[in-house]
Amino acid sequence: MNLFELIKKGESKTLELKEKLPSATNLAKTVVAFSNTAGGKLVIGANDKKEITGVKENEVFDLQEKVSSIIYDMCYPNILPEIYTVNIDGKILMVTEIFRGSLLPYYLKNKGKLKGTYIRVGSTNRLADESMILELERQRMGRTFDEEENFEYEIAKLNLQPIFREFNKIGKEANIIKLKNLKLVKSAQNKDIPTNALLIALGLLDNTGIKCARFKGNTMEYFIDKKEFNGALFSVLENVMIFLKNHLDLKAEIKGLQREERYEIPLVAIREAILNAIIHRDYTRNSDIKVAVYDDIVEIVSPGGLPNGLTVEEVFNGRSELRNKVLAKLFKELDYIEVWGSGLKRIKQICDEENVPFEFKETGNFVSVVFKRRIENKKVLEKSRKDSESAKNQRKSSEKPANITLQEEKVLELFKVKNKITVSDVERLFNVKSARAREILSKMVKKRLINKIGKTKGTYYVINEGENER
């Protein structure tokens, strides 16, 4: 794609447009962000409306000198740009091309590493947090989060059977030596230490689960069903597939003398997309993989942008960069993966064969895969919207459940002024001790009046809108 075509697509992860030379600080931020992410081009002489305005020919050399000086004076480690001009329809554009660096992280000298490291997120420069800076340092050393030892867990206290069972299914030997060969276990301080990859595979680290929801209509306003699956990643994957089967249309076709049943979206493609999300997501981020079924689409959202500066175009061309090397090797060993870098191509091929529109995109620090559902009758969406409004009105006017107690009724009343409540709120409401407050809330959870969020000190409760809706 030539420069003119890039400009017409607008600013992106790898393109920034400026009509005039930006301030030294803003220019340096962009250069640093490009160096830390996927590289990119800073074009002077084109505005954010994609209009080519050009720069004066007699100013080109001065601009090049200024840009070179700013980068040298303000960025660290040293960044070596390529600065050149391009003539489009008689208008001169000055391009500063930055390549992804190998001395990560890059930052502004006067701000230091913690306050001066920037990354490119979409078409903006974002200040990197400490976890991102650590990730950039891992990338410089060629290490990944999942291969690091985790000294908070002891091998002897871990249930390794979920992984051993997966090996046994395909007739492979499974023992601690096998786990060491795969770097799921390492030796340190004269004892065996689990790596983060092993803990992720067993579902023991935070945010290793997958949240699923079936929404009414094509927005997240109301849901029909929701589930959260935790545990070993292999069982999580299978449970998510069962959830999707329950909410996708199954159609039967007669071919010759045979009756063939197939889902509206090929399950093989969906499974591949979820598997990709599990293997490639950023497990240092405090967020879960989310699978959402709407009337018109199925969307799978995975935390973390594309790893190691990848772009969407490179992924479609088959380039593979592993954010979780050990985890990926485990799934490859278990025959979940056929060929490196083939996942997205395989999904696209399957969807093209089944005439299912498919989209893969990077939005900020998330990657999403979208499958469009087949809607035979265009009135389905309109009916669903009306159903949603009807459900909303019914909730407002419906009577309280017959088995609700007076105390539970007062707790529900509390939700009218608070979106979420804690055990302490119930203690103050009834002037009771913590144990009694927990008992009240626990019974409400069992009745599916409310949902419990979290398992630690930060636990809170929200009203179960889905149950009320039903």
CA–CA distance, 446 with 252 (Å, rounded to integer) = 38
CATH superfamily label, 3-140: Schlafen, AAA domain (3.30.950.30)
What is the chain's alpha carbon radius of gyration, rounded to the nearest angstrom? 27
CA–CA distance, 119 with 128 (Å, rounded to integer) = 6
Phi, psi of 464 (to 5 degrees): -85, 85
Domain residue ranges in the chain:
3-140, 145-201, 211-372, 399-469
pLDDT along the chain (470 residues), means of 10: 91 95 97 96 94 94 96 97 96 96 96 96 93 93 94 94 95 93 92 96 93 92 92 96 94 66 91 94 92 96 87 81 92 84 81 92 90 67 52 47 78 82 87 88 89 80 63
Phi, psi of 3 (to 5 degrees): -60, -40
**What's the CATH number for 399-469?**
1.10.10.10
Q: What is the pLDDT of residue 395?
A: 46
The second-level CATH assignment, the architecture, of 211-372 is 2-Layer Sandwich (3.30)
Confirm if 445 and 452 have CB atoms less than 8 A apart.
Answer: yes
Cβ count near 23 (within 10 Å): 9
Residue at 154: amino acid letter: E
DSSP for 290-351, please give it.
Answer: EEEE-SSEEEEEEES-SGGG--HHHHHTT----SSHHHHHHHHHTTS-SSTT-HHHHHHHHH
Q: What is the pLDDT of residue 355?
A: 92
- Matching fold, domains 3-140 and 211-372: no
Cα dihedral 231, 234, 237, 238, rounded to 10, equals -100
DSSP for 95-134, please give it.
Answer: EEEE---SSPPPEETTTHHHHHBEEEETTEEEE--HHHHH
* Global pTM value: 0.73
